[in-house]
Amino acid sequence: MKKILFPLLFCAVAVFAAGGKATGAAAANGAKSVPAPVATDSVAAASADTTAEMSAPQETCGEFKSEIAHRDSLMAVADSSCSVEKDSLRAALNSEQAKTKNWEQSYETMKKSNETCARALSVSIEANEKSKEKEKQSKSQAAMMTSSSFMGGLAVGMLLFWLIFD
């Protein structure tokens, strides 16, 4: 499409720059229009007009070449700025990906550390509860032994009292 469009554009601009416009029957037939004859007295003026008309397409070619060169230089500048921006964005993306990996590793490490600490805490709490339970049990055993000793003493005393006074 671009290969066809450029020559057509070039031809159209060359025709309009030369001043020749196809009108009427000539345009319908597709024939090239011939510029109207110039009413001058001298042949030199007529030949000057003819050479000016012939050099117009060459001037337009030079203008097109300069415009194309200008466009290409602008495109090269735009391409270089786009490639710099693309490289910058790629570097930022790589940096973010590295940060994400680092954060994931940190999260996994903290998760493992938290699990380890939670297990150690539960073991510590269980040990503390067991020691409290043992203390309660030893206190209740001590109270039971004291009360059973007291009751045993009463029972022996009553038995002696009954044997002595009976």
| pLDDT greater than 60 at residue 83 | yes
* DSSP calls for 149-166: HHHHHHHHHHHHHHHHH-
**Mean pLDDT, rounded, for 13-39:** 49
Give CA 151 to chain center in angstroms: 85
Residues 6+ apart with CB under 8 A from 45: 38
Alpha helices in 19-42 (DSSP H): 24-29
> Which amino acid type is present at position 132?
K
Bigger pLDDT: 21 vs 162: 162
pLDDT digits (tens, 9 = 90+) for 88-107: 899 999 999 999 999 999 99
Confidence of residue 56 (pLDDT cuts 50, 70, 90): low
d(CA 17, CA 166): 155
When pLDDT is cut at 50, 70 and 90, the band that residue 7 belongs to is: low
Is 90 exceeded by the pLDDT of residue 77? no
Per-residue pLDDT tens digits for 118-160: 999 999 999 999 999 999 999 999 999 999 999 999 999 999 9
